[in-house]
Structure 1
């Protein structure tokens, strides 16, 4: 089917690539996809990366937006100027071109715009244009039930920000509802289902291995957070932080409950040391993991001091510290260190404090802040990102939420930029792990829900992925 699609028009090739990606089976065809996209990119772009129009008559909005998204997704530097042709003399997206009736095209443009980088103002306009018109169509029930559900799902969480296995599971069910009668893709759909079920078995096995160490790590991070956030007194937290810095328990200064937490940290690090020693990676993994524990503890101590002094930091000061207190850098270095992605080159890159990791950590921190802000106001708590915005800029709560959401949008632009440029030539599999942490934040805090605290609300996702 793939070979056959390569003899067809550009849009048919792209639609086939899109379908196998949406079905979650594109990892079987990575080389074929790269070759097909490289060929398209070389034929359809000029020297300055501007797409040449009207080559085979399939440059409608949907085809062009899909082409843009797939090429940029795979690291090809395509200019957003290709969408200028859909604007009118006033520089606005032209309603008279019947764009608002082209639901498929608007959906494709909305998805393509998620891969924007800084300075691409056309995508700010495109997002406003597509979201406004698509939302109006769903709110007024002007679409068929199946299409309405598809549009609502996309507007709620675009593909670029979804966890890809969950997205594949949803798409297979949705596709089957849209195409109930047999057609030429039924074989591909059946293949995708079988592949998904085979991967479920592998993932269940992997999950057993992951929970032995990463599960403990997640629990210990919560212990640390609660120690600094709720239970510890400042005069106890300072020697506790120093103990983590030295990895030596200052027994006479610590209460019993903190000794237990400290010993859990030491025990986990010892276990990680044994695992990485067997892998032959401990010499470059552990020197990174131990400081990551201290960086987390130090950031939590800073927040405890702010809370004790009733100090509200500037928004930028809060974000700088919040990236570390999110625990994402520790999670990433530990997760990468325990698998086959652990190489000296990767850990040398981690040691540079990469911008993409700080960016992903900021998304996690700000998403959490917006969801937990009202609950945390019920007790004494360090100022959150919402509070810092309100205090520094004299903003209302609603305005502060908008500022945080705008910041998260800019963070995604940073992520897209880092993936396109990739100055350190970091393996794509490693970058995918980093981006998936940002996607996890989008899922965990989707629709202003705190699914981190209320784990039960993630249960249906676990069932979909593993059962």
Structure 2
């Protein structure tokens, strides 16, 4: 009897969630880049860059730290990368102590963010005999804000920075009503999202609006930031238009009505990985890989029976178009879609001299399908595995390997060694993947349990630890915090011969996850609240200069 029931179960289709259509319609369907406008921006940017570079060279001490921070917050750092690194090395070697909290915290954060080993003991002088921050600091809002941002690059065991988060949050919240712009805007933004964990280009767009209200602003730097943003925005619009046409050519919206149409939101993940002009290939590749993973996820999770899912997994494993005839019609569409992306990948990798990346990408796609299939079996059969087994599978379902191998042909610095390192599951990769997985689980639990009919990872944790749903969700938040500490530690320790830009992308993956699933909401499935405003700010509305 049990075997009959099990056999029947394998042919049952899961309850299909009907997702809302893309909120963007054909907003990004066409865009014609005006090259004359871009050239005009380029000339103005180049002129201002020279003047800002002179300011950077001349600046010293605390003023230098503020200048570097301003340039970075405004999204301009890539123009002055060498000059900034030289200046920060000078700051680090001078080892100057500052008496005020603002500058001490700023120096600490900037050096940590640039992979320097700095001790949190620099904050000891601001604490009392009980190792608590002096209450007199509670009225120094600029200092509190600087400390709050510095505390978000903490690593495990830095208790003084754990204390700093609670201390600064309490006092900044207390002062909110009495603050005026732009300080009020800075504090409000920080309490919503710390700078270090924000997607750089989103933070830049937010900060431009804040900085122009600041009486102490540098008009030259502000103008450069505005010109630079509009220049980038035109480039993003062109990439988005290309991506929109690519996605529309597959017509998956009508062929696979069970799958989410989120190509614009996927591009936002691409821009989170790298917003600078030279990374156009990376942005588009990450967007395409993210949309593919999404279609694959929805096929397993939202439509396929267990028998269909197993068949698809087996056929994909053999990676042979001659076997497509075995698949149901809707799965043929999915298979052709995956193969079309692969053919483009193979062609581009060969063209870029990165053909060594092809096997790892193919394996990453197969691996993701296997992991989705395993997870769906657990859910449909209501047999959640031991926690360790679930977590191991979760590193794969985070899609991190597909997203990274997908853009490797466009990265000059990537070698076979880079790929071997990524696939060896180093700590920073696992920590990053788990941030994505836990934040996603926090945001998508309600949708995925389909009104209590199916088990999710939350149930897995409840069973393993014998705790309530609320306690599990709180545990996820702690796990996310711990993973961020591990990422900060690995970032500061550097990673030998692995290109810095690859490690930086891992940090940016975690930032994109924070952006997407903020406040435990699934901003990918329902982008109106979380991602929609960012998309409008970055890709629709230019800055008035």
Per-residue CA shift, 1:287-336, capped at 9, x if unaligned? 11011011101111111121232112343332221121121220121023
Q: Which residue of 1 aligns with 2:103?
A: 63
Question: How is 1:382-397 mapped onto 2 (pairs within 5 angstroms)?
Answer: 383-397=455-469
**Alpha-carbon distance in structure 2 between the residues aligned to 1:190 and 1:259:** 52
Question: Residue 137 in 1 paired to residue 161 in 2?
Answer: no
Report if the CA contact (8 A) 2:56-2:83 is conserved. no
Question: Residue 82 in 1 paired to residue 118 in 2?
Answer: no
Q: Which residue of 2 aligns with 1:158?
A: 194
**Alpha-carbon distance in structure 1 between the residues aligned to 2:291 and 2:89:** 45
Question: Residue 111 in 1 paired to residue 149 in 2?
Answer: yes
Report if the CA contact (8 A) 2:139-2:171 is conserved. no
Distance 1:207 1:269, change over 3 A: same
Per-residue CA shift, 1:96-140, capped at 9, x if unaligned? xx11001111111110111111221221111111112222333xx
Report if the CA contact (8 A) 1:319-1:385 is conserved. no
Distance 1:132 1:273, change over 3 A: same
Q: Which residue of 1 aligns with 2:214?
A: 178
Question: Residue 196 in 1 paired to residue 229 in 2?
Answer: yes
Per-residue CA shift, 1:377-408, capped at 9, x if unaligned? 33576533322222222222222111001101
Per-residue CA shift, 1:157-180, capped at 9, x if unaligned? 00011111111111111111233x
> What is the TM-score with the length of structure 2 in the denominator?
0.77
The range that moved more, 210-219 or 167-176, is 210-219
Q: Which residue of 2 aligns with 1:15?
A: 66
SS at match of 1:455: coil
**Alpha-carbon distance in structure 2 between the residues aligned to 1:72 and 1:82:** 13
> What is the TM-score with the length of structure 1 in the denominator?
0.89
Q: How many residues align?
A: 448
SS at match of 2:507: helix
Q: Which has the higher contact order (CA 8 A, sep 6+)?
A: 2
**Alpha-carbon distance in structure 2 between the residues aligned to 1:32 and 1:73:** 16
Could you say what the CA RMSD is over the residues aligned between the two structures, in angstroms? 2.2
Question: How is 1:65-464 mapped onto 2 (pairs within 5 angstroms)?
Answer: 65-95=105-135, 98-138=136-176, 141-144=177-180, 146-179=182-215, 185-208=218-241, 212=246, 214=285, 215-248=287-320, 250-251=323-324, 253-282=326-355, 284-379=356-451, 383-457=455-529, 458-464=531-537
Match of 1:43 among 68, 87, 94: 94
Per-residue CA shift, 1:268-303, capped at 9, x if unaligned? 211211121221212x11111011011101111111
Report if the CA contact (8 A) 2:324-2:335 is conserved. no
The range that moved more, 455-464 or 100-109, is 455-464
Q: Which residue of 1 aligns with 2:3?
A: none
**Alpha-carbon distance in structure 2 between the residues aligned to 1:142 and 1:402:** 32
**Alpha-carbon distance in structure 2 between the residues aligned to 1:149 and 1:349:** 41
**Alpha-carbon distance in structure 1 between the residues aligned to 2:413 and 2:509:** 16
**Alpha-carbon distance in structure 2 between the residues aligned to 1:5 and 1:342:** 31
Unaligned runs of 5+ in 1: 45-51
**Alpha-carbon distance in structure 1 between the residues aligned to 2:401 and 2:451:** 28
Unaligned runs of 5+ in 2: 1-51, 247-283, 541-545
Distance 1:208 1:346, change over 3 A: farther
Distance 1:312 1:446, change over 3 A: same
Report if the CA contact (8 A) 1:41-1:71 is conserved. yes
